[in-house]
Amino acid sequence: MPILPIDSGRYGSNEIRNIFEEEHRLRYQLDFEAQVASSQGKLNLIPKNASREISLIARSNKITINKIKELESISEHDTASIVQALSQYCSPSTRPWIHYGLTSNDVVDTSTSMQLKDAFEIIEPKISKLISLILNKAKRYSTLPSVGRTHGQHASIISFGLKFAVWANELSLHIERIEEGKKRFLLCKTLGVVGTGSLMGLRALAIQKDVAKSLGLYSVEAATQVIPRERLAEVQFIISLIGCTLDKIAIEIRNLQRTELGEVEEPFKKGQLGSSAVPVKRNPIKSERVSSLARILRSFSNVAQENVSLWHERDLSNSANERFTIPMGVILLDEMMNSMIKVIEGLTVNRQKILDNINKTKGRIYAEFILEALVKKGIPRMKAYDNIQRVAFQTLADDKNFKEAIIQDPSIGSNLNRNELRKIFDPNNHLAASTKIIDNVIKKAKVICRNYKLH
């Protein structure tokens, strides 16, 4: 019976959940045992016949998760149960060479790296797809002026497309982070009980290098019984940081969808219900889900950092929580990616509402540009600032039009002619370098995705 929403299939795609499913995890671990035996035989550390037999049995699918659980119920050791199961199927002459020179965490840590490698092969194309969708929006709305808000207040004019360009740029940097980090956290370890190479002696590093290359991983440079947990902390940080960016996007969409703003709206399919009590509600539930799950991802990053400080060559204080945080972090990130792709794909952008909102302050949003015009005419900055603020606050109190008040105020209106004011109060004149910035982001993101074969 499922307990967690992940178990019931509520969150994450089938392909990402399958990577961490217990039978599939066993296959990763057995594949590692097979590859170690193969490399040991190739480099003449163990007999070639034993090497072949171990590899054959480990990859034969004869060893099932039910068999491992049966053995573990007695031994209370999951990795030892794998070794026991292999021994039951291998000939007596081969048995001494099973798991030769290894320790449990060689299997655990390397199979985790194998899982992460496959998981990122699913996650990265989704990031690339989301970048592409967002860039299409950036380009489409590059010349659409809108309200730029700081502290929740109208501040100045922004290109609506620039919002999307900022998101796409950060997502492209996440791809770089993943790719650059792989050599640090997709690690293979075969160095035994305390990281010396143990029974393999001087050939230990050559064997580890060969195993790593065969599995598409990187050979750890130095380790204790476990791969240093700084590496997994980096993975969890990257995962949580991607989640933070998705949360940032989600929060902006949620804010812009508020009734008072109405600038965008999440897709709302036929038959969907927004509220069990209020028939008119169209809630941004996918964006809210992203924000909710992002909080969990951030907590996992903290746990991963706590795991760095283990006793001596290792203790088990990291082991239990990593069984949760690593698969859950990846699966929940996959869910967030899937949700945000759907949101951006079906996002409704209300052009007219965006333009209408510019006028909500009755012209006060143009104060920055009036200040600039007065300064250029030689008026001291703070004097101009004080006069603009005085008029602005008065029009707010009296609910008057700011442009008309500016014209009527002798300390300001006498310094600006009507043609200058017409240009100042046209939002299309204040997009500045927006289109160039957007074009630069598009070029950069395409290069990153192409370089890593994600286009």
Catalytic: 275?
yes
Catalytic residue among 60, 75, 91, 275: 275
Residue of higher predicted confidence among 441 and 9? 441
**Mind listing the pLDDT tens digit for each residue in 363-374?**
999 999 999 999
151: left (phi over 0), alpha (psi -120 to 50) or beta: left
Q: How far is CA 444 from the centre of its chain?
A: 19
Mean pLDDT for the stretch of residues 331-359: 97
Q: Which two tokens stand for residue 182?
A: 């792989």
Domain map (residue ranges) of the chain: 14-97, 104-353, 364-424
Catalytic residue among 73, 151, 312, 414: 151
* pLDDT confidence of residue 274: 61
Would you identify the CATH topology of the domain 104-353?
Fumarase C; Chain A, domain 2 (1.20.200)
Q: Would you say residue 454 has pLDDT above 90?
A: no
DSSP secondary structure letters along 122-142 = HHHHHHHHHHHHHHHHHHHTT
DSSP secondary structure letters along 105-119 = HHHHHHHHHHHHHHH
* pLDDT confidence of residue 143: 98
DSSP 416: S
Q: Would you say residue 451 has pLDDT above 90?
A: no
Q: Would you say residue 315 has pLDDT above 80?
A: yes
Q: Which two tokens stand for residue 143?
A: 């010349």
What percent of the chain clears pLDDT 90, i.e. is strictly above it?
A: 91
Q: Which two tokens stand for residue 234?
A: 């980096």
Q: In sequence order, what are the residues at sequence separation of 6 or more whose Cβ sits closer than 8 angstroms to the Cβ of residue 43? A: 203, 206, 207, 210
DSSP secondary structure letters along 233-291 = HHHHHHHHHHHHHHHHHHHHHHHHTSTTT-SEE----TT--S-SS-TT----HHHHHHH
Residue 167 CB coordination number (10 Å) = 24
Q: What are the beta bridge partners of residue 265?
A: 348
Pairing between β-strand 187-188 and β-strand 218-219 as defined by DSSP bridges: parallel
Mean pLDDT for the stretch of residues 126-135: 97
Q: What is the CA radius of gyration of the chain?
A: 30
Write down the mean pLDDT value for the chain. 95
Would you identify the CATH topology of the domain 364-424?
Ribonucleotide Reductase Protein R1; domain 1 (1.10.40)
- Amino acid letter for position 437: I
Q: In sequence order, what are the residues at sequence separation of 6 or more whose Cβ sits closer than 8 angstroms to the Cβ of residue 93? A: 47, 49, 50
DSSP 327: H
Euclidean distance between CA atoms 132 and 172, whole angstroms: 10
Helices (H), 141-203: 160-185
* pLDDT confidence of residue 121: 97
Q: How many helices (H) and strands (E) does the chain have?
A: 18, 6
Angle (nearest 5°) at CA 355 between 248 and 431 = 70
Catalytic: 132?
no
* pLDDT confidence of residue 198: 86
Q: Please, is 74 exposed, middle or buried when counting C-beta atoms within 10 Å of its C-beta (0-12, 13-18, 19+)?
A: exposed
Structural class in CATH, domain 14-97 = mainly alpha
Q: What are the beta bridge partners of residue 158?
A: 146
**Mind listing the pLDDT tens digit for each residue in 19-60?**
999 999 999 999 999 999 999 999 999 999 999 999 999 999
Q: Are 369 and 427 in contact (CB under 8 A)?
A: no
